[in-house]
Amino acid sequence: MVVKVNNLVKRYEKLVALDHLSLEIQEGEIFGLLGPNGSGKSTTINCILSLLKYDKGSIEIFGKQMRPDAYDIKRDIGIIMQNVAVFNELTVYDNIYYFCSLYVKDPKEIRRLTEEAIEFVSLEDFKKFYPKKLSGGLLRRLNIACGIAHKPKLIILDEPTVAVDPQSRNKILEGIKKLNEGGATIIYTTHYMEEVEQLCDRIAIIDKGKVIASGTKEELKNMISLGETITLETYHLTEENIEEIKNIPNIASVDYNGQTVVVKSKKGKNNLVHVLNYFENRKIPMGKIYSELPTLNDVFLEITGKELRD
């Protein structure tokens, strides 16, 4: 176990930001903390890092109790915060060198690690640039390089792709996978379900400071009753047809807007076949058809009754 958070409670005056939150993160995994804005992700990370005091609970990292002065633990952690934290008066190279020098003493080794980090985030052409001259995506990559240059065993990234262009976003996600393949354990917070689906081995979904579900994405999707969502283009459905589709076994809901019908089914076999057979037998013309498995948004929606997105 790399991180063990037990029953954490954090209040900001009257607001309970973390409400008995527990997490267990194992060595070598990419662990996703998924939740809407304001659910408590940054507060969790700041408590884990002992940057914030909390009211109740305990936090262990690498099997030891985490404290504000636990420098032996902090040395092995890389932090990439939501807000870019670099020095505007230092170049790209000097920023990375500086952050690396907080953990590594030998100048030759710092230079080697700095070059490696620059290569890792593909900033070779920008070494002498000052942060103000970098685009948002490049700045994020610099922020990441500063956090990982000292080769930490545990890397914590708090929403590193917010307001980043798709190219930089892909580079960041690929980079995180590479860091993980190199042996680092990763904690990744985001409100983008696509990112955790793509990246994470295990996920905790949080809402209002509580873990509402956790597991692999398959486990999370198996927790809910929704099977698949079938979307079908058709201009010819009557009220009677809609009622009949609702009565097909295993169908949970039917929504029709005059152009497309969205049929949600409960878990079970051959749901798509049954729906298509209905259209075939009634000779109702169909256009495009597709069927989707539940998303993590569906999981969030079924548990909390609201959308993950704002």
The secondary structure of 29-73, three-state, reads: CEEEEECCCCCCHHHHHHHHCCCCCCCEEEEEECCEECCCCCHHH
The interface region with ligand ATP, picked from 32-40, 120-128, 134-142, 246-254 by CB under 6 A, is 32-40
* Structure tokens that stand for 11 in this block: 């209040």
Is 176 or 206 the residue whose CB approaches ligand ATP more closely? 206
CB neighbours of residue 141 within 10 Å:
26
Q: Is 135 left (phi over 0), alpha (psi -120 to 50) or beta?
A: beta
CA atoms within 13 A on the CB side of 233: 4
Judged by CB under 6 A, which of 21, 23, 32, 41 binds ligand ATP? 41
Is 11 or 127 the residue whose CB approaches ligand ATP more closely? 11
| 309 near ligand ATP (CB under 6 A) | no
E strand residue ranges, 113-250? 154-158, 185-190, 202-207, 210-215, 226-233
| 40 near ligand ATP (CB under 6 A) | yes
Task: Compute the least distance from the CB of residue 47 to ligand ATP, in Å.
Answer: 9
* Structure tokens that stand for 237 in this block: 């459905």
Task: Compute the least distance from the CB of residue 83 to ligand ATP, in Å.
Answer: 10
The interface region with ligand ATP, picked from 33-41, 176-184, 244-252, 300-308 by CB under 6 A, is 33-41
Check: CB of residue 122 under 8 Å from CB of residue 164: no
Is 93 or 300 the residue whose CB approaches ligand ATP more closely? 300
Cross-strand bridge partners of residue 185: 154
Residues with Cβ < 8 Å from 143, sequence gap 6 or more? 80, 81, 84, 85, 86, 160
Judged by CB under 6 A, which of 5, 17, 203, 230 binds ligand ATP? 17
The interface region with ligand ATP, picked from 37-45, 71-79, 171-179, 220-228 by CB under 6 A, is 37-45
Is 212 or 286 the residue whose CB approaches ligand ATP more closely? 212
Please give the Cα distance from 250 to 228 (Å, whole number): 10
Q: How many residues bind ligand ATP (CB under 6 A)?
A: 12
| 168 near ligand ATP (CB under 6 A) | no
The interface region with ligand ATP, picked from 38-46, 86-94, 132-140, 276-284 by CB under 6 A, is 38-46
| 163 near ligand ATP (CB under 6 A) | no
Strand 202-207 and strand 30-34: pairing?
Answer: parallel
Is 18 or 92 the residue whose CB approaches ligand ATP more closely? 18
Please give the Cα distance from 265 to 302 (Å, whole number): 13
**Side-by-side strand order, sheet with 3-12:** 15-25, 3-12, 56-61, 64-65
Is 159 or 298 the residue whose CB approaches ligand ATP more closely? 159
Is 41 or 202 the residue whose CB approaches ligand ATP more closely? 41
Judged by CB under 6 A, which of 42, 168, 185, 229 binds ligand ATP? 42
Judged by CB under 6 A, which of 1, 12, 174, 309 binds ligand ATP? 12
| Residue numbers at the binding site for ligand ATP (CB under 6 A) | 12, 15, 17, 35, 37-43, 159
